[in-house]
Chain A
Amino acid sequence: MNTGEILTLKDNLPVLIVVFPFLFAFFTGIFGSFKRFICFPLALIGVICSLISSLFGFCLVYNQRKDIVYTLGGWTRDIGISFYLNSYNASLLFLINLSILFVLLYSRRVIILKFPDRLYAFYSLILLFLTGILGIVITGDAFNLYVFLEIVSLSSYAMIALNGKESYVAALRYLIIGTVGATFYLLGVGILYLKTGNLNMSEIHNAIISQTNLLSIKAAFLFITIGFSIKFAFFPFHSWLPFAYSKTINTVSAVMAPIVTKVTIFALIKVIVLVFGLSYVFSFTCLKFLFSSVLAPIGMIYFSLKAFSQKNIRLSFCYILLMECSLMFGALFLNNILSYQITMYHVALDIIMTLSLFLFVGVLETYFRVYNFSDLESVNIFKLNPTFCILFFITCLSVLGIPPTGGFFSKFYIILAAFTAHVYFFPVCLIVSSFIILVVFLRIFEKLYFNTKKAIEGANNKVPVIMLLIFFVNAFLILGFGFNFNLLLKKIISLYF
């Protein structure tokens, strides 16, 4: 029942993180349709408010050393909906807000030129997308996760379809495949509800501890896992992703590519840890065989070969993204705790890495009109913007897994966890696919750093200062992840278990 206590703004922090972008989405929609110039500042203020509240939330949870459980409406946990905020959630929320902020700053001029009449609708959609993503990360209720997943899906179908003819087909294909994934998840939650009668994740866990060898619980786990794998494009179900992210405008791919897949993997981790429990999942050895030993390694090799054979830069980066997702999913099913911890570390790191990659592609396309690998030869970028290219080099080091960047630690410990679990095909394929990606990057480096064309000075050939700042912050975060690996693992991730 309702408690009689008085609550301050600080106590309501978990829900404010989600509600701020939501409110500003509607302010942007209403006021932006009258005056066009007010859309961008309102959207920016919404994202900044959420960023500051997630930072406060992180400091609160880190200092208290205790998770915050917030039930909406003042009801108890099993009657109402509850939110879980712990230090790992809060850091993911901060990184997501940061990446949306960077993309908004980068894309201001591009968007105004592209949609002068419908600016308010586009910014409302981005803010609603952000609300859904933040909600997926923070919620503790199984059906609430479905509602947030659908907000994210609907706004992404609409955002992908903004680039003319080919993007409509890409969006419709994504819609059909994405709906299958979401409905599989809904069926899994329905089977769990039928067997337990609860919708809160921890309550479901308490109820199914005694009945875990039933076929229904295994089937529910399978449906939920397959539903999420469709949503983050695991190997056999990946066909929508390269099609969707390459046919749309570069702002939308920079918004969606770093975030959607990673947050879906995190939602799967959350469901596994909170609902089913790690010991139950570890007893599923056939899944370990199927996912980690067979599908994930084949997926990694296939995607890296595809990345190698593309002519378009953005399409090959989409395949690199797919390779990282296969890597994380394969690592999840290695059935030891170290692999879970490393996957969570890699999820947070990969948000920043993919953001850098796609912002780099965006800069190349907007400022230099470079779309394919062969176009890189015609413009000498390095001579005019040396800092920019060096900062991008740090991101590439991280994707390949070279110390001291964060990517090295995650790949090294995943290989270690795979040897502990006696899975040998997976680390071999990981190393082989890293070498293939190395060849892709060497092609870019050769054309970027060893270009002999004469540099033409001009207003169009210089990357603006704000992009340099964004890349500087990204490189700083990637190196920070690498240098502080032990600290992050002990203080933030280990507490989750």
Chain B
Amino acid sequence: MKIYYKLVAILLLFFLISLTFDFPVTGDLTSPANLNVSPYYLENSVKQTHIPNVVTTVLADYRGFDTLFETSVILTAGIALILILFKSKRQKYSFSNLPRTTKGTDLVCQNSCKLAMPLMQLFALYVIAHGHYSPGGGFQGGVILAASFIFYAISFGVPNALNRFFKNKRQMLAYLGVLIYAGVGALCVILKKKFLEYVALKDILRVSDEMAHSYGVLFVEIGVALTISIIMFACYVFLATGNSFDDENL
């Protein structure tokens, strides 16, 4: 049976390589991809939105609707994990079932965590806030923030991390992050413009056209970072412990 799969794979490879005869050369400055739409983004980003980082502008302003649904994809993954890996409330909650690696007793890990974690979180907030001017933005900063939570969970153990970060249904903040994003869009509709047309925010914030775009992108990035950080940490906790905890703390 495997010989058939190998044959299909080799045929596919030859077909794909024969396609590359048509493709433009790598790094070609006159290829259609480099000539058609992207010069508009590069030339008009600072003029229209006062943001030098063109990737952030395209992500959150020109193609902002895509990013809204991409954030909801990650939220769907979080909800899917809750539904699949859930243990009923009636079953006894005990930490003795946890695998040994999630209990966290190593001294070196704990002390280096105490030193490094505040710096990681500060750096994450810097990356989110400075996404307009340097490579960064909501996704990248959110993942670094989640990495700091995971670092704490590895060093001190998952029960301690859950107690510290997620009491009283704080995972609802993940839903709130996407709601901030959709809420900015809905606000633009209520203010009689199109969905996610940030110019509408100009009257509320009392700034010029370009600064309204800049602030709109900032709010949207904060929403994205909130959702991503909480869901990435939740993914780690769910997958590392199986389903050995109940709903009260997450």
Direct contact of A and B (CB under 8 A): yes
Q: Using a CB–CB distance below 8 Å, which chain A residues touch chain B?
A: 1-2, 6-9, 11-12, 15-16, 19, 22-23, 26, 29-30, 33-34, 70-75, 78-81, 115, 117-118, 121-122, 124-125, 128, 131-132, 135, 143-144, 147-148, 150-151, 154-155, 157-158, 161-162, 168, 191, 193-199, 207, 214-216, 219
Residue in A closest to B182 when the chains form the complex, CB atoms: A23
Q: Does B33 contact A (CB under 8 A)?
A: yes
Instruction: Say yes or no: A75-B19 contact (C-beta < 8 A), given A7-B194, A158-B84, A197-B33.
Output: no
Residues of A within 8 A of B75 (CB): 128
Q: Name 29 interchain pairs, CB-CB below 8 A, sorted by A.
A: A1-B48, A7-B192, A11-B194, A12-B195, A19-B195, A26-B175, A30-B172, A72-B194, A72-B196, A73-B195, A74-B199, A117-B86, A117-B88, A118-B82, A144-B65, A147-B66, A147-B70, A148-B69, A150-B73, A151-B69, A155-B80, A158-B84, A161-B84, A162-B83, A195-B22, A196-B32, A196-B33, A197-B34, A216-B19
A82 CA to B194 CA, complexed, in Å: 12
Chain A facing B: main interface SS: helix
Residues of chain B from 163 to 184 with CB closer than 8 A to chain A in the complex: 169, 172, 175-176, 178-179, 182
Instruction: Say yes or no: A194-B72 contact (C-beta < 8 A), given A7-B193, A8-B192, A118-B83.
Output: no
Instruction: Say yes or no: A125-B23 contact (C-beta < 8 A), given A118-B83, A198-B36.
Output: no
A73 contacts B65, C-beta separation under 8 Å: yes
When the two chains form the complex, which single residue of B48, B84, B175 contacts A29, counting CB atoms closer than 8 Å? B175
Instruction: Say yes or no: A196-B36 contact (C-beta < 8 A), given A12-B195, A154-B80.
Output: yes
A225 to chain B, nearest CB (A): 15
A23 CA to B79 CA, complexed, in Å: 15
Number of interface residues of B (CB under 8 A): 59
A195 CA to B19 CA, complexed, in Å: 12
Residues of A within 8 A of B18 (CB): 215
B89 contacts A117, C-beta separation under 8 Å: yes
Q: Does B76 contact A (CB under 8 A)?
A: yes
The stretch among B56-64, B94-102, B130-138 that forms the contact with chain A is: B56-64
Q: Does B31 contact A (CB under 8 A)?
A: yes
When the two chains form the complex, which single residue of A8, A121, A219 contacts B83, counting CB atoms closer than 8 Å? A121
A81 CA to B179 CA, complexed, in Å: 21
When the two chains form the complex, which single residue of B48, B77, B209 contacts A154, counting CB atoms closer than 8 Å? B77
Residues of A within 8 A of B76 (CB): 125, 128, 151, 154-155, 158
A81 contacts B65, C-beta separation under 8 Å: yes
Q: Does B37 contact A (CB under 8 A)?
A: yes
Q: Beta-carbon contacts of B9-22 to A below 8 Å, as 1s and 0s?
A: 00000010011011
Besides A7-B193, A78-B37, A215-B21, 10 new A-B residue pairs in contact (Cβ under 8 A), listed by A number: A30-B172, A72-B194, A73-B65, A81-B63, A118-B82, A118-B86, A158-B84, A194-B32, A215-B22, A219-B19
B31 contacts A158, C-beta separation under 8 Å: no
Residues of A within 8 A of B72 (CB): 22, 128, 131, 151
Residues of A within 8 A of B48 (CB): 1
When the two chains form the complex, which single residue of A72, A147, A158, A198 contacts B64, counting CB atoms closer than 8 Å? A72
Instruction: Say yes or no: A197-B32 contact (C-beta < 8 A), given A148-B69, A214-B22.
Output: yes
A162 to chain B, nearest CB (A): 6
Q: Does B117 contact A (CB under 8 A)?
A: no
The winner among B22, B65, B197 for most chain A CB atoms within 10 A is B65
B79 contacts A30, C-beta separation under 8 Å: no
The winner among B15, B48, B75 for most chain A CB atoms within 10 A is B75
B192 contacts A157, C-beta separation under 8 Å: no
Q: Does B35 contact A (CB under 8 A)?
A: yes
When the two chains form the complex, which single residue of A8, A144, A162, A195 contacts B66, counting CB atoms closer than 8 Å? A144
A75 CA to B37 CA, complexed, in Å: 13
A79 contacts B62, C-beta separation under 8 Å: yes
A203 to chain B, nearest CB (A): 8
B80 contacts A74, C-beta separation under 8 Å: no
A6 CA to B188 CA, complexed, in Å: 11
Residues of B within 8 A of A196 (CB): 32-33, 36
A30 CA to B183 CA, complexed, in Å: 15
B28 to chain A, nearest CB (A): 11
B33 contacts A193, C-beta separation under 8 Å: yes
Residues of A within 8 A of B186 (CB): 19, 23
Q: Does B189 contact A (CB under 8 A)?
A: yes
A194 CA to B32 CA, complexed, in Å: 7
B83 contacts A122, C-beta separation under 8 Å: yes
A128 CA to B77 CA, complexed, in Å: 11
Residues of B within 8 A of A150 (CB): 73
Instruction: Say yes or no: A216-B22 contact (C-beta < 8 A), given A19-B182, A144-B65.
Output: yes
Residues of A within 8 A of B169 (CB): 33-34
Which 6 pairs, one residue from A and one from B, show the smallest C-beta to C-beta distance?
Answer: A197-B36, A158-B80, A197-B32, A74-B197, A216-B22, A15-B195
A360 CA to B109 CA, complexed, in Å: 59
Q: Does B4 contact A (CB under 8 A)?
A: no
Residues of B within 8 A of A72 (CB): 64-65, 194-197
Residues of chain B from 192 to 250 with CB closer than 8 A to chain A in the complex: 192-199, 209, 247
A73 contacts B73, C-beta separation under 8 Å: no
B206 to chain A, nearest CB (A): 18
